[in-house]
Amino acid sequence: MNRHKLINSCRLSTTGFSFLFAYILSFQFEGQVLYSLLEMRGINASAYILAAMIVHFMGLLTCGLFVRSRSAAKSMMLSGMGLCLVATAPFFFAPSYLWMSGLIVSGYFSGCAVAAWGFFLRAFTPKNERIKSCADVLIYSNLLMIAVNVVAMNRSPFIGLSLAMLFLVTGIAFIWMLPLEQENEQNKTFKNKTHGGIKNPLILLCLFVFIITINSGLMYQVINPAFEHLTGLVSWYWAVPYIVALAIMRNLPMKAKRSRILYIGMAMIIGAFISFMLLGRNTSDYLTVDTLMLGACGIFDLFWWSILGEMLDYSDNPAQTFGIGLSANVFGVLCGGVLGMAVTSMGLPGAEVAVIALTVVCVTLVMLPPLNNQLVLLLKSHAYLAAYDNMSQSQQTDIVRQIKTLDPLTVREQEVLQLILSGKSNREIAGALFISESTVKTHVRNIFSKYDAGSRAELISTLLKNQRVE
């Protein structure tokens, strides 16, 4: 695929996904369409929102089980968005069992469609541009959501619902135009770059995302309701700091260490909850709390979206990787929301709620440095292993020889090291060398000791210090 077609495909993919995400934000989750419809009918929104989040989480988590190619991803996105369109239609009519059923169907298949987009993010967006594509999706979708919010809250929720459904139709049109040529060649290339999966980095990222997004759930259930009397302002301003933070993060130099900005985000969350505890509930207080909280959310969201984008090159199934990563986000919000509802039902004052939230933040702060260091290290390790695999045998040998060890490696240790650098597990190494797995573990410990490394990731890091990976 030439560069012009690639750029065009990237734009089609980003635009189509932005419209899908705008529908999700404006109808299922954060937007006011569903809330306004339920309020107009005198229906408690909690059960509906909870059901939508649970099934969306399941869609994200399970999509990779049956979407394993780009053609299947395209089919899933088109069919999923079509089903969302049909399932949303009953909300124009009087409440019935079709409301909950429709929300369950649309929630699940919207989750599947989001996860499936991972194939297109990998195929059409170069690795160093994925943070910009992710930022564009989040910015455009939130701008569209703001427009729907204003209409739903100040004009009519039915007009807002019509706009949300129009987003789906528009998204379908853009996704329909995406090409599928050269899929086999690209899949082969990516397959060669996969080394034992990305299980460990993905687990670390999911843990990090889950802990952080608990605060988002608390915000939706505790902070936002406290300012619901500011209807006109809340309908549009609450997402503005989020969008501004995304725009700043998007345009940072590539060499900038975005991980450091996470600490700014943590400070902003702390400031938001302290402000919520100490300030009143007037307009200026809302502007302070919302700016700090949503600005931090923008920083965190783009950070892990971009990390997931990087991981796609080392994954056999982008839909699975992308879906699992984003499911941690939804699960964190879900747990935070449940915690928020429990706190609200207990009638705790704002100060005690803030203390609970700050406790979560403090736990996150303790975990942030080691999690971030391990995540960066593991991703670099995968990058090195991918590059190493594409080298000739002589180049691989030269790299190993260039690295100084505390003691010379034995012949067997050299063999084990070569297999480690090929991405083999201890069990696979044992099978290749016809030795026991316990013997392999002994050799691995000796290699770590001679390279002064505590893990495979640190061993690869030692090589990284001496070898530039393109």
In whole angstroms, what is the distance from residue 123 CA to residue 268 CA?
35
The share of the chain scoring above pLDDT 90, in percent, equals 32
Q: Is the pLDDT of residue 381 over 70?
A: no
Instruction: Quote the pLDDT of residue 74.
Output: 95
C-beta contacts of 423-429 below 8 A and 24+ residues apart:
423/195, 423/196, 423/385, 423/389, 424/196, 425/196
Higher pLDDT, 315 or 379: 315
User: Rounded mean pLDDT of the chain?
Assistant: 81
Is the per-residue pLDDT at 330 higher than 50? yes
Note the pLDDT of residue 141: 95
Entry pTM: 0.80
What's the whole-number mean pLDDT along residues 93-101?
Answer: 92
Structure confidence at residue 221 (pLDDT): 67
pLDDT at 408: 77
What confidence score (pLDDT) does residue 469 get? 40
pLDDT for 115 equals: 96
- Span of 80-89, 144-153, 369-378 with lowest mean pLDDT: 369-378
Across the range 128-150, mean pLDDT stands at 92
Between 368 and 59, where is the model more confident? 59
At residue 102, the pLDDT reads 94
Lowest-confidence segment of 10-14, 49-53, 179-183, 302-306 by average pLDDT: 179-183
**Higher-confidence residue: 7 or 300?**
300
Of 175 and 366, which is predicted with more confidence? 175
Residue 32, both tokens: 């006011």
Asked whether residue 383 carries a pLDDT value surpassing 70, the answer given is no
How many CB atoms within 10 Å of residue 277? Answer: 17
Query: Can you list the domains of the chain with their CATH numbers?
Result: 1-192 (1.20.1250.20), 198-379 (1.20.1250), 390-464 (1.10.10.10)
Q: Tell me, what's the pLDDT at 106?
A: 95
Residue 403 scores a pLDDT above 50: yes
Asked whether the beta carbons of 279 and 286 are under 8 A apart, the reply is no
**What pLDDT score was predicted for residue 121?**
94
pLDDT at 432 over 50: yes
**Which is higher by pLDDT, 372 or 190?**
372
Give the pLDDT confidence of 163-207 residue by residue, as tens digits. Answer: 999 999 999 999 999 987 554 444 444 444 434 456 767 887 888
